[in-house]
A and B are shown apart, each in its own frame.
Chain A
Amino acid sequence: MNPTLIISGIQATLRAAQAGAQLYGEHARDRKVFLPDLELPEGSRAAQLVVFLKDKPQLAGAASAFSALWDAENRELKSTKPELVDAAYTVMLQHKAKQQLLDQGKEENEAKFEADMLASGRMVEQWREERQPPSAFVRMALTLTDIGLEFIQADPTLFGIGSRGEKMIVAFAHSMSALIPDDVSAFGSKANFADRVLGIFLRAGLGSLTGNANIVLKNEDIAGLIQGVTKPMIDALPESIADQMRYRELVDALAGPCAEAAFALLAENTEDFFGKDFADDKALGVVTSALFEDIQRATHDGSIVDVFNEQGLIRIYQAGLRVAIERPALFLGTDHSTKTDLFKELLSGSAATLSAHPRFEGPIGTALAAMILDVIGENASALFKLDPAEPWEEIAGIALEQITTSLSTALETLDEDGTLKGALKAFSDRQLLELARIILQQAAQTPGMLGVQTSELQAIIGGIAKAMAADDNLLLSPDEWITIAGVAAEKAAANPGRLFGLSVSGDDPGQALALSVIQSVLKVASETWTQKGRAGQSVLFGKTLEKVLEASIEALAGNVAAAVKQPEVVDRFLERLKDKSVAAPEKFGSDAMLKVFRGLVGNVLAAGKLPTEDEIEAILFAKEA
């Protein structure tokens, strides 16, 4: 076998195919076709007995019913007397029934269509053995050529000497041998399946070229994808027909989108990875093997396909691939061996977590898991420095658990009328996801904030969720809450154990400092709004309220000695400013209130004393720096 010769053949055919498609014609003539069988009428009972006894002469003497009418010497019927024929026929049926029982189960797993065909004819290939394509290698070459021809019809510009399409097909052809094991006989029934999967990937690859005029792919990239993504799909093909039926169905549904996802990442990263290898095939292999081995595994809770659904799995797979491409070291041991169970455990762990929280079933849960994978993967090496005591996949699993638990708790606490509490009722799934992402992103960028033993992330999300639940009058929009959450997370990250760690209540350890301050501000804003709405001339809502909360949270990073002991000091300060704004609206609008609040809230939190009129006036009339 000379691969160069094969590849030359493919190239030449593709070029020739621009003027025609002889190979396609050859395929049309040479593929297997159905040849029908003879349909002859069944004989009478006597005729059936003759066939039976000629084929099974050893039985002729075994039953008196047979010997009564069968001449064993001449192998013919001595008589066709109806009573003799009927008796012998009954014995024959008993023998046949016994044989049928022995053979039972043989075709149980045959597809119906195939069974119908076998009953009335058979599929027959064109060529004798010596003239057949003898190996999976040649068959794959023909598949690649076939698909190339298909694309030539659709987009002739993709092909030509040295063109992008031709280069891609050649790169695939170069990597075909990677799919075939050294022991070719062991490949057996996988040959056709491998051929099909390779075809799916080539289609996805050529499709990505068609859709992106600038993309240029290197041979190494294609080889990496074939070794890392295509091969694990083939290797995971189970042996039993029953298992294969399910697996093939899933591969039919997943392989195409997975291939598209892989090529999309390749296209996306071509420029970023310019000059260096795009992907480590081992890392890609870990992700792909995990997915395609895990989809076969069913637990008592169902399989991961049931939890994530096919669309969700592709999304998570894409997130995993992205991590494998950008941080291959996360999937490899120190000796460059592969951490084969890593992604598998991550998948099954995520499925278990999401199954335990019904609120996160379906697309939102999937999106959450994919987002966490993205964020943790992106920051993993900086965060944990690959500390074996804090493996990143466990951190990702714990982060998912902490986020889903804290959000679920908040979302499951309902008002008396059965609706969600406060601002939570206004949140869409997308906004919930963004809220989690912004906090997680901050936590992931802060060394030591995420870990197997730490629960700071849960405290922050739980605290913010509780604060949002207190916004009964919807004074802030979900997007404004997301901004506040971002600030809170940033400050909490910079001040370990402070904002959401310090409790202001001896009775309630969950009443964190930041939560208490946010609730105080909301209380003042709500009181005014509840009493008179906009007529009350309150400015504490929307953007102004958002800025006040931001300023409060930022101030919590400073001296908060008094606030810890008497958190209501913030209420009083804000009440005072609010009264001033109502009393002299011409002088004390939202900008003035913000200016004074920002300027003095630090002192209030530190000393626990409200500012004097002079201090307020000084801030109010101070010239901008």
Chain B
Amino acid sequence: MKKRLVTFVFGVGVLILFGCATVKDVQRATDLIRTDNELTRLLVEVRPKDQEGSATYLIGIATHAQTEAESLEGLRGKEADAIAYYRIAATAYWKSGAPEVVDDLFEATLSGMNLCAELKEAGPDRDCMFLQLVIPFAGLESLANGVNLKDTLGKIDFYDNKDTAIEIETMRNAFGDLEKARELIKKIYQFETDDRLKKHPGMREYYCSNVEKARNYHIGHTGELIGKVNDYDQRPALQDASPLGITIEQARALNTIGQISEMFMGEPAGELKIDDDRYPKICRP
């Protein structure tokens, strides 16, 4: 409290001394609020009803925010404003789901993260944490929606003796996709070691609810793939025809993401398994 108070009063004192606030600052603050509000409106009200239509507007907002952010780069004392605009741009690019703006998504996110790195502890907590998450989130979402394992892996039936060769190919592709997903989830899990999360309940809840979604996605599909491998192994006749090329150990290993840090919360972190319900520790009661 005292720290906040001192910052507040000190900040005000600095303002008086240098008289640096301008009408432009007020206009920018208003624009920031409006842009944020418009983004929320599009995401909450428009996008659920019209995903394709909203993409155009989201890209428009993202472009505006990115332009504003870039115009602030290099200006002393304006880093936090720039980061807020980058956060908006990254969110809007991500949720537009448009492949043509992936490069912009990276550009905006990395620029924001660089500014956060410059500010170190003084960086705005939420915005800087979010920027670290947005690329793995967007990557996982894009991958999952692109491969649609429900319609591929979910349709495999090794008991019907039909199209087995195609099904084997589908299994191998699914395995590859789940390996990619594992890497993205590893990045998401790694974020739990960020100490800021411990002291930011709102961001922790946001993080944990999304980790839960990512985890469920991965262990569900990996579990299904394991089941299919077991099915295959129980049908020796099929193995004679063509090897699956995926062992049960390999399939199980899809749930292992290795060691993300040596120690975590006072304990040796050990090798992390996605389906281990002790992880992420920060999300456990």
Interface residues of A (CB under 8 A from B): 1-2, 5-6, 8-9, 12-13, 15-17, 19-25, 27-51, 54-55, 69, 71, 74-82, 113, 116-117, 120-135, 138, 153
Contacts and interface: CB of A to CB of B under 8 A. Distances in A.
Nearest to B196: A128
Contacts of B209: 37, 122
15 contacts: A9-B12, A16-B19, A23-B12, A28-B29, A29-B80, A33-B87, A40-B141, A47-B150, A47-B153, A77-B224, A120-B48, A124-B130, A125-B126, A129-B200, A138-B8
A405 B30 CA distance: 57
Interface string B125-157: 111001000000100110011001110011011
B33 A31 contact: yes
Contacts of B5: 2, 5-6, 9, 138
B230 A78 contact: yes
B15 A22 contact: yes
Contacts of B3: 130-131
Interface of B: 1, 3-5, 8-9, 11-13, 15-16, 19-23, 25-26, 28-30, 32-33, 36, 39-40, 43-45, 48, 80-81, 84, 87, 91, 94-95, 124-127, 130, 137, 140-141, 144-145, 148-150, 153-154, 156-157, 159, 196, 199-203, 205-206, 209-210, 213-214, 216-217, 219-224, 226-228, 230-231, 234, 252, 275, 277
A19 B13 CA distance: 13
A22 B220 contact: no
B154 A124 contact: no
7 closest residue pairs by CB, A with B = A20-B21, A50-B223, A77-B227, A44-B154, A47-B220, A28-B29, A16-B15
A44 B9 contact: no
Contact of B15 (A20, A125, A128): A20
A134 B21 contact: no
Nearest to A25: B29
Contacts of A5: 5, 9
B124 A120 contact: no
B26 A24 contact: yes
Contacts, number: 248
Contacts of A23: 12
B82 to A, nearest CB: 10
Nearest to A16: B15
Contacts of A16: 12, 15-16, 19, 21
A247 B127 CA distance: 35
B93 to A, nearest CB: 12
A50 B220 contact: yes
Nearest to B201: A129
Contact of B144 (A30, A41, A113, A153): A41
A20 B22 contact: yes
Contact of A29 (B32, B156, B200, B224): B32
Nearest to A149: B26
Given A129-B199, A130-B199, 20 more contacts: A22-B25, A24-B25, A25-B21, A29-B81, A32-B202, A33-B87, A34-B36, A38-B210, A41-B145, A44-B153, A50-B220, A51-B216, A51-B220, A76-B223, A77-B224, A80-B230, A116-B44, A120-B43, A121-B44, A131-B125
